[in-house]
Amino acid sequence: MIRGDALHLEGNRGKLQTIIDAPCREDAMNDSPEPTFKYVFGPVPSRRLGRSLGVDLIPRKVCTLDCVYCQVGRTTTKTVERVAYVPPDEVLAEIEAKLKSPPLPDVITLAGSGEPTLNAQLGEIIAGIKRMSDVPVVVLTNGTLFWDPAVRAACAQADLVLPSLDAGDEPTFQAINRPAPGLSLERVVQGLEAFRAEFSGEIHLEVFLIEGVNADEAQIEKIRALTERIRPDRIQLNTAVRPTADEGVNALTEERLNALCALLGPKAEVIADFRKVHEQPAFAVKADEVLAMIRRRPVTLDDTAAGLGVHVNEASKYVEELLSKGLIREERRGDKRYFRAD
């Protein structure tokens, strides 16, 4: 049994217990070739979770939504049909291989470049992770499929579930999230209500705010009414800190976020930028590689990921850091986003 670093997640219910560290097994052959990973990436720094080992269970941009703010880009396949997209045994083998290399991640996050609950074998994969490790399992989801009992049963095996809710009414839901046919805001909220009634772990509900779209006080009051139905342990406010799928997605200032946070009640918090992880030497080295690449020529996020041999979600972390420091800038050419250094 591989055990993970201590993780404390405060909340009103279902608190995770401290995970006790234990030595990680050494690879039998230290001089063997570096393994390649198709489904697992990282660990990467997360503002909410620390060092997160990402697991991608869905082909890129297969999703139930086409959110204007998505960091991965526009959705190419919008669907609510659940399919067995990836072989669970291969996914679990990659996770086990990653966990053999210290330091262990703080969490294993099922997320990636599409909506993870669209994977019909999600429950089987979570159960397999639980058999091999005590590292807490997190499901990062847009929260749109919890009306399905099978999705609720699969996610109930996790330690922490992070769904989203970006709108207080149907027109705003349609404008921001652009859902697949058959999805409505009320159906999403009812699903999250049902999951809350069945799940003993923690739910941290992310609310992504866009200036001029869903950040006025009237919309915030509507969102608060919905959160009172869902009863999450935390409400976490976010805004556009990374390049987004659509242009014109305007970020809120820290002061504005704090003001709206107060309107959502005592469970609400602004998600802080996770700088301590970004300052680690291994992260800094990768960020320097990205900067060197961008100085040679403008690159897309896909170019960056391919050049580093990492997942696009991991590449976005380094790009975000360089953007925040003003070392690079974003440039749009048609529907593509490029990053360049002057």
Q: Are residues 224 and 337 in the same domain?
A: no
In the structure, what pLDDT confidence band is assigned to residue 18 with cuts at 50, 70 and 90? very low
pLDDT in tens, 167-176: 999 999 999 9
Question: Which is nearest to 51 in space by CA: 117, 4, 113?
Answer: 4
Tell the burial category of 120 from Cβ atoms under 10 Å away from its Cβ (0-12, 13-18, 19+).
middle
Most confident of 198-212, 241-255, 297-311: 198-212
pLDDT of residue 28: 35
In a domain? residue 328? yes
Dihedrals φ, ψ of 15, to 5°? Answer: -65, 140
Q: Does the structure show a pLDDT above 70 at 302?
A: yes
Say what the pTM is: 0.75
d(CA 221, CA 228): 11
In a domain? residue 6? no
pLDDT of residue 285: 61
Q: Are residues 124 and 145 in the same domain?
A: yes
Q: Does the structure show a pLDDT above 60 at 279?
A: no
Q: Are residues 266 and 285 in the same domain?
A: no
CATH number, residue 80: 3.20.20.70
Q: Are residues 87 and 174 in the same domain?
A: yes
Question: Which is nearest to 189 in space by CA: 229, 154, 216, 248?
Answer: 229
Which range has the worst mean pLDDT, 129-143, 200-214, 243-257?
A: 243-257
**Average pLDDT of the segment spanning 200-216:** 94
Q: Are residues 331 and 264 in the same domain?
A: no
**What is the residue range of 55's domain?**
40-274
Q: Compare 123 and 341 and report the one with higher pLDDT.
A: 123
Q: Are residues 270 and 292 in the same domain?
A: no
pLDDT in tens, 138-195: 999 999 999 999 999 999 999 999 999 999 999 999 999 999 999 999 999 999 999 9
Q: Are residues 124 and 240 in the same domain?
A: yes
- Check if the beta carbon of residue 85 is closer than 8 Å to that of residue 122: no
Which of the 8 DSSP states describes residue 11?
A: -
In a domain? residue 139? yes
Q: What is the DSSP string of 194-228?
A: HHHHH--SEEEEEEE--TTTT-SHHHHHHHHHHHH
Count of domains forming the chain: 2
pLDDT of residue 1: 56
- Decide which of 235, 250, 274 is a domain's last residue: 274
pLDDT of residue 280: 61
d(CA 180, CA 152): 19
Q: Does the structure show a pLDDT above 80 at 79?
A: yes
Q: Compare 27 and 285 and report the one with higher pLDDT.
A: 285
Q: Does the structure show a pLDDT above 80 at 114?
A: yes
Q: CA angle, corner 126, sides to 123 and 128, nearest 5?
A: 110
Q: Are residues 55 and 179 in the same domain?
A: yes
pLDDT of residue 7: 43
Q: Does the structure show a pLDDT above 90 at 129?
A: yes
Query: Mean pLDDT of all residues in the chain?
Result: 83
In a domain? residue 10? no
Q: Does the structure show a pLDDT above 60 at 234?
A: yes
**Average pLDDT of the segment spanning 111-126:** 93
- Decide which of 274, 293, 315 is a domain's last residue: 274
Q: Compare 188 and 287 and report the one with higher pLDDT.
A: 188
The count of other CB atoms within 10 Å of the CB of residue 16 is: 17
- Decide which of 223, 249, 274 is a domain's last residue: 274
Q: Are residues 283 and 267 in the same domain?
A: no
pLDDT of residue 320: 77
Q: Are residues 115 and 244 in the same domain?
A: yes
In the structure, what pLDDT confidence band is assigned to residue 38 with cuts at 50, 70 and 90? confident
Q: Are residues 124 and 56 in the same domain?
A: yes
In a domain? residue 48? yes
pLDDT of residue 282: 61
**Average pLDDT of the segment spanning 50-62:** 88
Instruction: Report the run of H or E that residue 234 belongs to, with start and end.
Output: strand 234-238
d(CA 135, CA 105): 7
In a domain? residue 9? no
Chain centroid, CA 112 distance in Å:
7
In a domain? residue 235? yes
CATH number, residue 295: 1.10.10.10
What one-letter code names the amino acid at 56? D
3-class DSSP assignment, residue 152: helix
Q: Are residues 83 and 108 in the same domain?
A: yes
In a domain? residue 3? no
Question: Which is nearest to 95 in space by CA: 58, 131, 121?
Answer: 131
